[in-house]
Amino acid sequence: MPSRLTALVATLALVATAAACSGEGEPAEKEPDARSTAASSTPTVPPTPSEALGLVEGWGPDRAELDRAAKLAGRMRLPDLAGQVIVADWSGTRAPVAMVRDLHLGGVIAFSSNVASADQVRGVNAALTRQVRRKWPLFLGVDQEGGVVERLRGAASRFPTFMSTGAAGDPALTRQAYAASGAELRGLGFTVDFAPDADVTSGPGDPTIGSRSASSRPATVAEHVVAAADGFSGAGVLPVIKHFPGHGSVPADSHLTLPVQTKSLADLEASDLVPFREAVTAGLPAVMVGHIDVRSVDPRVPSSLSRRVTTGLLRDELGFGGLVVTDSLRMAGVTRGRSPARTAVQAIRAGSDVLLMPPSPAVARAALMKAVRSGTLPRRRLEQSAARQIALLTHLAATGDSGKSVGSAAGASRSLSAAAITVTDGGCSGRLVGDVVHPYGDPGAVSAFVAAAGRAGLPVLLRRSPPSKLADAKPRPERRKKEAKRQFKKRLRAWKKSESRRERRLDAWTAREEARLAVGTGIGFTGFRDAPVDGAVAVATDSPWVLGQVGAPVRVATYGDTPAAMGVLVDVLLGQAPAPGRLPVKVAGVSRAGCAGQ
């Protein structure tokens, strides 16, 4: 570690020196030294087109694929080249063919608002592929992590949070699960998924990542990131690991502000950077750079705009030769106090290859063209980025088949949840609930649980709303114009009597309802960012830290509220299945990390 850290410091110092000499806070591009080549008397083999661009192998595409891509990028008109490095968001549910074609965008990213159904989104991707004619695949991306980040709800099989993988502790199972998810995405026409998260969560103080991380242990995160990414790649979908250099240990959300990372380089090397280093070693193809102020590397500059971070740390120190994608350029962490045009150019100069979601794709494209024409951004830099993207998408298009139908991954999702479910308090075998249960708390989880309980034949009691004649209070009467005082007081007494009678009847109804529900075992469900919900059984469907804040004698972490996760939960509560998972993070206030080995 000391020698690695020394090398890193030296690398960053060189990058900093180059930046200082360039006059704009960014180093000038390195070009081959023609004099030294001419002075050499040894015959040399001319570099291939991709070698001339400085592109290396080891992250997916072979030399032939890189050379083809370099030739294609070299022949592009500057407007097309500038558009190729942009991936935009879009509005509505109709294919944004004109925008992609007119600006020659690399592609688009779909969000929930763009998705109405599986058939609709499949049609969008098919229309883009068919009508935007390219000699390489389009960058058709989606944020489909599982858990709280799923843009295709209702259009693809649901998966639990990525923390499920850390709880299950089986990289082979992780690979199978994300291969199945990737096959569905491929079947819907997507070529890219912005997953998995390589962030190491720091615990309850992590407001952004949480259950999106596999664990708070760097080695655990690393092995499951590599496994999940391999699964996606095997299905022909490009995995983009994120958010370099690590978002799990900063106490702020880059959607809202620029988070400050105060760790030393040594601390980063020992924690946040571990999964990314392992991913590079494993040859993973793409990395997303987040918007983080890394004080030990490039103070007060978002990492996505920092050459010291993107090139110095990721490319030079970690040795990453693949595709670098910015996080969304609409986020406050990078927009506040900066012009979109300057941001686009600075991100490419820093070392990124894809500009994700610039506020205006047209403005970003124009800014890149202007920078090239003015000499502040070498055309070669855009050719590198475009060639990496084209080579990688072409390489993955030849991998796997045409994808699988929606629903084909449901079994893999259930297998992951079955291996992850964790009981921290209460029995590790046998039935954990009575003959009847009363679920409450997070509405989505309760709904999925009720359906699963029904399939298993477990009776469920749900709280009913009181009749409207008891629940709806009549407003206090106002004195009418010219109404006699005695008459008004009479109406007021009648109203008070009526309301008193209604309230007594409501109290009686409520007491009967409580008595009815008391027959069932109370199961409190706590979902994403919910306050802890207690009961005879407490279930955390997102991050498990809430389990340490309740007093329930039985506490369970499911790491998801999918139909499959709730089905697994019912089986465990009925004593029909084990709970083999173990907490992948530290949770204060629980009895144990799990039942495995008990």
Question: Would you tell me the crossing angle of helices 171-187 and 410-420 to the nearest 10 degrees?
Answer: 150
User: What is the DSSP pairing of strand 554-557 with strand 422-425?
Assistant: antiparallel
Tell me the torsion sign for CA atoms 277, 279, 284, 286: negative
Query: Is the peptide bond preceding residue 439 cis, with omega within 30 degrees of 0?
Result: no
> Is residue 422 a contact partner of residue 557, using CB atoms and an 8 Å limit?
yes
Note the Cα 141 to chain centre separation in Å: 12
Q: ∠286-289-292 over CA atoms, to 5°?
A: 165
DSSP 91: -
Q: How many residues does the chain have?
A: 598
Q: Of all helices (H) and strands (E), which one includes residue 523?
A: strand 521-526
> Is residue 555 a contact partner of residue 515, using CB atoms and an 8 Å limit?
no
As a 3-state breakdown, the chain gives helix, strand, coil percent values, each rounded to 5, of 45, 10, 45
> Is residue 407 a contact partner of residue 564, using CB atoms and an 8 Å limit?
no
Q: In sequence order, what E strands does 27-106 have? A: 86-88
User: Of the listed 327, 425, 542, 561, which one is catalytic?
Assistant: 327
Residue 422 in 3-state DSSP? strand
- Cα distance between residue 275 and residue 224, in whole Å: 9
Active site residue 327: yes
Structural tokens at position 205: 């103080």
- Cα distance between residue 305 and residue 329, in whole Å: 10
> Is residue 409 a contact partner of residue 184, using CB atoms and an 8 Å limit?
yes
* Type of residue numbered 90: W
H runs (alpha helix) in 405-484: 410-420, 443-456, 468-471
Structural tokens at position 339: 């012009």
Q: Of all helices (H) and strands (E), which one includes residue 265?
A: helix 265-270
Q: Of all helices (H) and strands (E), which one includes residue 467?
A: none
> Is residue 569 a contact partner of residue 452, using CB atoms and an 8 Å limit?
yes
- What residues contact residue 584 under an 8 Å CB cut-off, 6+ apart? 163, 166, 167, 169, 214, 215, 216, 217, 220
- Cα distance between residue 496 and residue 493, in whole Å: 5
> What's the 3-state SS for 331-383?
CHHHHCCCCHHHHHHHHHHHCCCEEECCCCHHHHHHHHHHHHHHCCCCHHHHH
The backbone region for 355, taken as left when phi is positive above 0, alpha when psi lies in -120 to 50, beta otherwise, is beta
Q: Cite the active site residues.
A: 327
